[in-house]
Chains A and B, each alone.
Chain A
Amino acid sequence: MGGYWQRLQAVSRLSIATGLILVSPPTVLACGYHDDVSMARGMMNWVYPDALHVLGAISTAVAERRLPPSVNNTAPDLFGSRYRRTAEALGRFGEALGESADRMPALSFSIVLLEPMLWTRYGAAGGKLRTQVHVAGPEASDLVLVSGEAVIGEIAARRLATGEAIERGLIRLYGSESQKAAFVGAFRSAGSARPGTMKPTASGHAAQSVAGMEAAMPLQSISITARPIPPSTAFEAEGVLACGPGHH
C-alpha cells in the first residue's frame, strides 16, 4: 500500500499546505493551472507515448453508448467509497483474467486507471494472479496496461472482453512484443459473457499480430465484433461512478 497514489496525495497536501503549487506556482510552470494528479496523468502521455489516447477511446465508446460514462463527482470522497468500489472492480478484473486463461502465463503486469491515476499490480505466481491494488507503480519488468475505470468495470462485470477493449484502444499495452502477445493470448476473452467462447479473430492468431505493431498500439488487426452494451440500471443512473467499478 502507500506508494504512488498516497505519495501523490501527500505531495498534493503538502502543496496546498505550503502554497507551492496551487497558491504560488513554481517558476518552471507558467500558468498555475495544475494539480499533481492532472500532471501525473499528463506525463503519462510522454512516459508511455500516447497513453492518453485511452481517454479518447473511452470518450468514443461512451458516445457510441458502448461504454457507460464514468462521471466524476467533484465532491470529496469522505468515506472512501469510490476507492473501495474501484478496488473491488480491480479485484474482479483480476479474477476475470484468471478465469479466462487456459494456462496462466508467467506474466506480471501493472495497470493504471487514468482517472484517479491508481496503479494496481497483478503478480503471476504459482499459476495464479495476485492482485495488489494501490501500488507505487509498475515493477521495471512489468507489462504496463493503461485504461480507465469504466473499462475495468465493464470487464469485471463480464460485459466487455479484454480483447475487444484492446482492439478499441480502451486498454493500451506497453512492454515487449512477447509480453503483449502473452497477455493477449491468455486473457483476450476475459470479460466476455462466457469466458473462452469469444468469436475467433479475423486473423485467427492475435498473438502473432502483436509483433508487427508499434509497441504502444492497440491490437488493430484483431477483428472482434463489437456488441453494444445493454443498458443497465447502472448505466442509466446518474452521479458518482454510477457505472463504475464495484457498482454491479
Chain B
Amino acid sequence: MIRTSRHGARLAALLASAVALPAFAQDTGTLDQKKAEEAQRRPPAYSPYVGRDFPTRPFFGDTHLHTSFSMDAGAFGARIDPREAYRFARGDEVTSSTGQPVKLSRPLDFLVVADHSDNMGFFPDLFAGKPEVLADPTGRQWYDMIQSGKGADAAIAIIVAFSHATFPKDLMYFPGTPAYHSAWKATIDAAEEYNDPGRFTAFIGYEWTSNTDGNNLHRNVIFRDNADKASQVEPFTVYAPYGSDNPVELWKWMQAYETKTGGNVLAIAHNGNLSNGLMFPVVEAFGKELDREYAETRAKWERLYETTQTKGTGEAHPFLSPNDEFAAFEIWDKGNLDGSVAKKKEMLEFEYARSALKNGLKLEKELGTNPYKFGLIGSSDAHNGLAAMEEDNFFGKTVPQEPSPRRMMEAFIDNTKTGVKIMDWEVSASGYAAVWARENTRESLWDAMERKETYATTGPRMIVRFFGGWDFETRDAEDRLPANIGYSKGVPMGGDLRRAPGGKVPTFLVAALKDPIGANLDRYQMVKGWLDKDGNVHEKVYDVAWSGDRQPGSDGKVPSVGNTVDEANATWTNTIGAPELIAVWKDPEFDPTQPAFYYGRVIEIPTPRWTAYDGQRFGVKPLPGTTMTVAERAYTSPIWYTP
C-alpha cells in the first residue's frame, strides 16, 4: 500500500527533475473517457508524452493581493500599485513601501490584484491631486495642506474624518462616479498590461468586503475575461445604496455580469475563522432560511474557498477535530475580524473548511444541493502589494509588518473592550494557490479553478497529485507517469465519484513532490468526512504515505518525523523526511450508502518560521510564546462520493 522514497542518492536526480518538472507532474489533466479510449486505440509512440491532452503542471499564484488602491492598504502607507504588484509577482525586484529591495525566490505564474471595491483608489488619487478629488472642497483643502507643508495636519484631518465618520460623501469612491470609474479602469489597465499569455497571467479582479459588525464575509471576485468585458461593469460594493453586505446580492451581481457580457466570474470566500460563525451557515443567512436556491446559487458561484492566508489557516480546528494532531496550525480563533466580538466555541463549526464540507453533505440531503462543495486554495491577502509568502522572504501582511526588528513585538489587533488581541507574530507567511491547468492563460487557469482542480499551499511549492477511482492498484504507485493512470482510471482533485460499482470501494492514487528548494515531506494524509444513515457527520484522518520506516502506533497514527530546526540560527536540514511520496490508498471503512468526501493533506518536515528568520537576522529575542517553527502543508480540493 505504501511506497516512500527517502533522501539519498536519488535526491539529486529528483531535485534536478523537479526543477524541470518531474514526470508525474508533467502528465496531468482532464482526460475524459472518450479521449482515453481514443488514446488507447492509437498506436503507441516512442515518446510517452505524445497525444497528451491535459494540464501539464501546477501553476502557482495568488488570488488575493491588495495594493495602494485598497483604502486600508493606502492608509497604512502602501505605495505599491497594481502595476508594481504584477511586476513583483512575475519575478522582478522591486522596492517595498518601507524602502526595502525585495524579490521572490521564483516568479509566480499568476496574480489577482483584488483591491477592496469600496473606495478603490482613493489614497493614490488624493495625494496625486486628481481632479475628481480636488473638485470636492474638503479634498481640495487636504491637498492644499499637503502641498503647503501642512501634510501632518492634513493627516490628522483625514484620520479624524475617518474616526468620526465625517468623511465627505462626495469624496467617497462609489460606483458610477468618475473617480471610481477611473480607479477601476486603472486596475483593469494594469492587468491588461502585465497579462502575458503563456508566461504570466494577470487576472482582473477585486474584493467584495462585507464586514458588518466586524464579521468577515469577504469574497474575491475573479474575471475569466479581458478588459473588453470587465470594463463593461464596475465592481460590486458593500455600502448602500450602491451595494450590499449580503452575499446573495453579490451573486446577483455576478449573474448580471455574465448575462450582460457573456463573460465569466467566480467568487472565493476567505477567513471564515473571522466571521464568528457566519461564513458557512446551516440554518439561515441574513434572516432568510437556507433553501435549495441558496445552496444552488452558492455552489454555482463559489467553487473555491481560500483556506489558508496571512490571517490564519481555516482548514480545521482542534476543538472540532480533537483527534487530528495536525489541526492546530496557524489558528486565529480569538474573535471576529476587528476583534469587536470574542469567539465562542459554538461558532467554530460554521467557520472552518472541514466542518463546512461535512455540513455540506448534510445540507445536500436536506436541500438537494450541497452549497459547500468547494475546492481549496491558499492566497496571501497581503496589503502591501507583495505576494511574498515564503518564511525566509516574508514581507508581512501590511506595510507596518514589513521586515523590521519590531514586527514580532507589536499587536496586530488589540481591542481593549473585548480583550481580543492578536500579535503581529501570529500573522502567517501563507499562502499560495496551486492550479492544475493546461496552459498559463486567464482562460485555462480560470477553468481549472472552476472545476476545482486546485490545491492550497501555505507557501512552499510542493507538487501534489490526488486521483480517486474504483480500480487503482498498488502497482499504480510504482509508475513514473502516474497522472496517465490517474486520469484514465479516475478523477482528479475537485472531481466526483458516483454510485459505487458493486462490491467496490474508492481507491486513491496520491503523490507529492517536495518544493525543489524547500523541505522534505513528512507524510501524505487522507482526510475523509461522511454522513451516516442517521444524518450525523463524521471525519477521520488517515496517514497514507510517509517518509522512512516509521510504523504506525496502536492508534494507527504514524509517529512524528522529528525536527532538525535550529531556531536560533533559523536553519534546518533535509536529513529527515522524503523528497517524494506516492501511494495507492483504499478506504478501509467505506459504506456505499453514505455520502463522503476525501481530500489530501501533505505535510512538510518542520522548518523555521518567519519569526525565527527575524530573530536571527535582526538579533532580537521573540516574545514568550512566539511560534518559531512551522510544518508547512498543502491541502487538495476534495473528491466527493455520492451514492
Contact = CB atoms under 8 A, between A and B. Distances in A.
A188 interface: no
B620 interface: yes
A171 to B, nearest CB: 13
Q: Chain A interface mostly helix, strand, loop or mixed?
A: loop
Interface string A35-46: 110111111111
Interface in B58-111: 70-72, 74-79, 95-100
Interface residues of B, number: 76
A112 B98 CA distance: 16
Interface in B202-244: 207, 209, 211, 213-214, 238-239
A60 B405 CA distance: 9
A84 B229 CA distance: 59
Contacts of A29: 71-72, 75, 119, 162
Contact of A33 (B126, B238, B398): B398
Contacts of B100: 56, 59-60
A4 B156 contact: yes
Interface in B375-416: 383, 398-400, 402-406, 409-416
B98 A53 contact: yes
Given A25-B338, A33-B412, A71-B409, A59 B149 contact: no
Contacts of B248: none
B528 interface: no
B148 interface: yes
Contact of B156 (A7, A34, A138, A140): A7
Interface string A55-85: 1111110110100011111100000000000
A24 B99 CA distance: 32
A45 B81 CA distance: 14
Nearest to B127: A46
A53 B99 contact: yes
Nearest to B213: A24
B172 A140 contact: no
B399 A32 contact: no
Contacts of B148: 140
A121 to B, nearest CB: 11
Nearest to A20: B163
A27 interface: yes
A15 interface: yes
B20 interface: no
B277 to A, nearest CB: 17
B405 A62 contact: yes
A47 B151 contact: yes
B99 A54 contact: yes
B404 A55 contact: yes
Interface in A136-156: 136-142, 144
Nearest to A42: B77
Contact of B97 (A32, A45, A115): A45
B405 A69 contact: yes
B165 A20 contact: yes
B164 interface: yes
B395 to A, nearest CB: 11
A236 to B, nearest CB: 9
Given A28-B118, A55-B404, A21 B621 contact: no
A48 B149 CA distance: 9
Interface in A106-158: 112, 115, 119, 136-142, 144
A202 interface: no
A201 B621 CA distance: 37
Nearest to B422: A33
Interface string B254-274: 000000000000000000000
8 contacts: A15-B163, A26-B162, A33-B398, A35-B414, A42-B76, A47-B155, A56-B402, A69-B619
Q: Which 6 A-B pairs have the closest CB atoms?
A: A53-B99, A47-B151, A32-B338, A42-B77, A137-B152, A56-B99
Interface of A: 4, 7-8, 11, 14-16, 19-36, 38-50, 52-60, 62-63, 65, 69-74, 112, 115, 119, 136-142, 144, 169, 238
